[in-house]
Structures are given as C-alpha cells and as structure tokens.
Amino acid sequence: MRINGYTRTCGLIGNPVEHTMSPVIHNTLAKETGENLVYVPFHVQTGQVEDAVRGAYALNLMGLNVTVPYKSDVIPFLREIDPLAERIGAVNTLVRTEGGYRGYNTDMPGLYRAMASDGVSLEGEEVLVLGAGGVARAVVILLAEKKAAGVTLLNRTPERARRIADEVNAREGREFARVLSLEAWSRLPGDRRYLAIQATSVGMYPDTERAVIEEEAFYDRIHTGYDLIFNPPETRFMKRVLAHGGRAFSGYKMLLYQGIIAYELWTGRPVDDALAERVYEEMQRALSV
C-alpha cells in the first residue's frame, strides 16, 4: 500500500507484543478491502498504560487492540465501555470516539463466530468449561447470553469456580452454572456427551505435553472440544478429544474473528466468509515461517 497523509493507524498495546499475529490479520484486511490503514504493535512498559492510551488519542490513532496484561488496566482511561465488555471486566479493542476511546471485548464474540464457522451451536447445549480464571468467566457469560442450557465449571480449586457460578447464576436468576473439582469429573450426570471449552493455559507452548485432565475416560464424554490455546495448533487436549471420536478445534479461529470484529468496528466494513478464509490462510502461512 501507499502511505500518505490520509493513512490511518491502528495498533496493539501489550507486554510483550513481539510475536503477535494481529498485524497479519489487520494489514491483510486493509489490503484486501482497499482501506488506507496500517496496523502496528506497540510494546508498552509496566506503568505506562495511561500514557499509551492518551498518547494514541493525541496522535489520532483510529483504534487499538489491547492484549495481556492490560485488558483490565485500560478501562479507567476510556471515555465509555460497551456493556458486554463491562460485564466481562476486560477490554481488547478501543474505538476512537469524540473525546476518547470506547472499549469493547471482541474475544467472546470472536469465539462465538469461530464456533459458528465450525458448525457448532451453543443454544440448548450442555457445556463443560475447564478453568476458573478471567477467560473462563468470560466464556460462562457468553454461554449464558447465547442461551446454552447450562455449564459445569471444572477447576482444581472449586471455590474460585464457585464465585463465577454464583455471579452468573444471580444474574440469570437460575442455576445455570454448576461446579465440580477436576478430580470429580466422573460425577457428571448420566451418559451425556458435552461440548467442552478448555480455558486454562495448560498445554500451551512450550509445555505442550500436558492436559488439564489426563484420564482417558473423560474424553469419552466430549463430542466437541475447543481449546482456546492457539500455540501449539493441536494441543494434547485436542488430540485426546480426536482420539475418542470427538471434534476438536484450537483458539486460532477465535484469534482470527476477534481481529475481524475489531476491524469491522474501526472501519464499518463487514468482513464476509470468503475474506475471513483468505486472512486465515495468511495467518497459517505466517505461522509456518
């Protein structure tokens, strides 16, 4: 593309940002749609988040993505926040408005679109969520919003999972979320098979030879497994699901679609399935280099 006085800038703030795939997503989208836009990662040091947000606005940046560890830290420096991001308590996309940035969370809508592209429906589904951190909490909120039948949180420390379940159940006005310790998975009722979402860092590169639950019989209970990790592309959790006849997906398409939704918010341009597939191919090409 040709950079000139009309070129708009978007970027990513985080620490670290050196291995991010986001420039591949957004610069490919800009090229394919003819948008005069460039996307750059910015490594923001600890304690400088406020300066980064205010500086980006002063420099007329069109928008920002936010990655770890700043997804909650940016919130006090925003002009406003989208209701979903407020419920989740984390922001990963900033959109320029008059007087400041508006914060959004595109991670969970990105997961939803990734699942839809893979033919996975949430409505009426019984779901297992492995983990009880911030990502797991966001997933449970998404499941409630998309009318899943119910969710069971499996976590090493049930007390932490119980806090998430109590919060979501109070909001829903019913027992939507239940809790079991990891060791108690065999107490899952009946012989139902579940959609399982792996929301911990267990199995992430370089410690790739572990899964949160190792017992083979557990994987007989899963018809579809989503591991929100995208490095490695096929985790031990995914391999176990596949070996027991289920379908398995990584977090790679979630990464794709959270970026696409951010791009749509910044530019107002909808991204269709064909373009999403072209961007996905560019991501895979970049990963293999």
SS3 content of the chain, % helix, strand, coil (to 5): 40, 20, 40
Q: Which amino acid makes up residue 124?
A: G
Is 239 an annotated catalytic residue? no
User: What is the longest distance spanned by two Cα atoms in the chain?
Assistant: 64
Tell me which DSSP letter residue 165 carries.
H
Q: Taking the CA of residue 205 as centre, how many other CA atoms within 13 Å lie in the half-sphere pointing to its CB?
A: 6
Calculate ∠ Cα 84-88-90, nearest 5°.
100
b/e sequence 25-62, b meaning 16+ C-beta within 10 Å: bbbbbbeeeebebbbebbebeeeebeebbeebbeeebb
Structure tokens at 142: 């998404």
Dist CA 120 CA 116 (whole Å) = 5
CA distance linking residue 12 with residue 64, whole number of Å: 5
Torsion sign over Cα 208, 132, 109, 26: negative
Measured distance CA(186)–CA(276) in Å, rounded: 39
Contacts of 17 (CB under 8 A, 6+ apart): 41, 42, 43, 67
**What residues are labeled active site?**
71
